[in-house]
Amino acid sequence: MSIRRPMLLPLMPLYGAALALKRQMFRVGWLGQRRLANPVISIGSVSAGGAGKTPVVLMMTDLLRRRGYAVSILTRGFGRAPKTVERVEPYGDPAWFGDEPVLLAQRSGTPVFVGADRYQAGLLAEQSVAAGKIAVHLLDDGFQHRRLARDLDIVLLTEEDTADLLLPAGNLREPLSALGEAQVILLREEEAERLRSFVRNLTRKRKNPPAIWVIRRRLVFAVAGDSEVPEETVKAMPCKRPLAFCGIARPAGFTGMLRADGCQPVETIAFADHHPYRNADIDHLLERAQQQNADGFVTTEKDAVKLTPEMRQKLEKAGPLVVARLSLSLLDESNAVSQLISLVPRLDRRTGKR
C-alpha cells in the first residue's frame, strides 16, 4: 500500500466523506448537471496524475475520426492563469493554454477547447460542427467533473492505483469503489491479466458491469523540431547515452519504458508535474549531461512542448534532443467500437440519432 504522505493519514477519512457527500448530492439532484447537444465521452482516472490520460484522448480521437465523427476535445488546462474559455492554438503559449491542451491541439488534428467550465467549452465547440457530421466531445480528465453530463465514462486503471490510498495521504482522487460508476475500464496490456479479476470483483454487484478494454503501449522516438523525421524505433536513436528528463507525475514509469525499449539513459532528472522550464533548468541539464558524459537528451512530448526554440538550441549544442512519444492502440478494436456504439446510441448512424 502506497502511503505517500503519512502525516496526512488522519485527514483521509474527511476527504473520503466529502467525496461521498458530493456523489450523493449529484445522485439526488441537489447538485445539477448541464448537458450539451452532442454526446460527451469522458476519459479519466481515479488517480491525481500519471495514469496516461492524454495518450488515451489522442487514441480515442483517432479512432472516432477514422470512422467519420466530428471530434472536439474539452479540457481544463492544469495550472493555466487565464479564466477564459477558448480554442487552443496548436503552437500557442503553453503558459497560456496549458501544456497538455497545446500537446493535444498539435497531435490530435481536431479542435481543442480549454476552460475550467467544460460546459461553456462545449458550447463553443458546438458552434463549429460541420453540417452532416455526428459530433462527439471527448472530455479530458473528466471522471471527477460531474457538473457536465456525459454519455460514457472511460476510466484508466493501473496496477499502481490498486495499491494507493486516497488523498491527501495517497494519490487517489476517488476510492477504487468509484470504478463501479464507469461504463468502460481501460487496462494496460502488461497489467491486464492481473487486473481483470480485480475489476470484476470490485464491480460484481453492478447490474451492468463495465466493459474492459486493453491498450498496448509503445514508445516512438523522433528528433525534436524535425517534422520530416519519420517515426523511429529505439534502434535508430541518434544518441546512445542520453540524459533523460521529464516533468510528469510518474517519472519512474517513463524511465522504465525507456529501458524496456533498449534505451539506457545515464540519468533521469525528474521535475515536478507540469513543471514550467526556465533557463536555469536548461543550464542544470547541460551541467549534468557533461558530468555524466551524455551524448544527447531524451524527454517526453509533454515536456518538449514547453521548451522554447532557444532552449532546444542550447540543449542541442551538447547532443540531439529526442522526444519519446507514447503511442497507444486498442486490442480488439472492432469489438471495442461495437461496445462504444452500444453504450452511446447517439453514435449509431443507422438509427439517425444525434
Encode pLDDT of 292-341 as tens digits. Answer: 999 999 999 999 999 999 999 999 999 999 999 999 999 999 999 999 99
Q: Residue 207 has what pLDDT?
A: 86
CA separation for the pair 8, 168 (Å, rounded): 6
Residues 204 and 77 in one domain: yes
Residues 110 and 59 in one domain: yes
Domain assignment present for residue 232? The answer is: no
Question: Would the pLDDT of 30 be above 90?
Answer: no
Residues 189 and 255 in one domain: no
Q: Residue 226 has what pLDDT?
A: 54
When divided into structural domains, the chain yields a total of 2
User: Which structural domain, as residue segments, surrounds residue 278?
Assistant: 239-319
pLDDT digits (tens, 9 = 90+) for 98-150: 999 999 999 999 999 999 999 999 999 999 887 778 999 999 999 999 999 99
Domain assignment present for residue 233? The answer is: no
> Per-residue pLDDT averaged across 45-55, rounded?
90
Domain assignment present for residue 226? The answer is: no
Q: Residue 351 has what pLDDT?
A: 55
Residues 336 and 270 in one domain: no
pLDDT mean across residues, the chain? 91
**Rg of the chain's alpha carbons, rounded to an integer?**
21
Domain assignment present for residue 227? The answer is: no
pLDDT digits (tens, 9 = 90+) for 215-238: 999 988 888 765 433 444 444 567
Residues 190 and 267 in one domain: no
Give yes or no for a cis peptide into 168 (omega within 30° of 0).
yes
Q: What percent of the chain has pLDDT over 70?
A: 94
Residues 21 and 80 in one domain: yes
> Per-residue pLDDT averaged across 1-5, rounded?
74
Domain assignment present for residue 12? The answer is: yes
Residues 115 and 158 in one domain: yes
Residues 172 and 244 in one domain: no
Burial 275-314 (b: 16+ CB within 10 A, else e): bebeeebbeebbeebeeeebbbbbbbbbbbbbbeeebeeb
> Per-residue pLDDT averaged across 146-166, rounded?
95
Domain assignment present for residue 276? The answer is: yes
Domain assignment present for residue 112? The answer is: yes
Q: Residue 225 has what pLDDT?
A: 61
Please tell me whether residue 15 adopts helix, strand or coil conformation.
helix
Residue 324 is inside which H or E element, if any? strand 321-330
Residues 28 and 136 in one domain: yes
Nearest to 319 by CA among 251, 245, 248: 245
- Give the CA dihedral 105, 311, 300, 321, nearest 10 degrees: 120
CA separation for the pair 87, 343 (Å, rounded): 29
> Per-residue pLDDT averaged across 140-165, rounded?
95
CA dist 43 → 52, 59, 141, 174, 234 (Å): 10, 11, 6, 14, 29
CATH code at position 61 = 3.40.50.300
Please tell me whether residue 70 adopts helix, strand or coil conformation.
strand
Residues 75 and 161 in one domain: yes
Top pLDDT among 237 and 59 is at: 59
Residues 312 and 341 in one domain: no
Residues 104 and 245 in one domain: no
CATH code at position 254 = 3.40.50
Which pairs from 7-10 meet CB under 8 Å and 24+ separation? 8/168, 8/169, 9/165, 9/169
Question: Would the pLDDT of 208 be above 50?
Answer: yes
Domain assignment present for residue 124? The answer is: yes
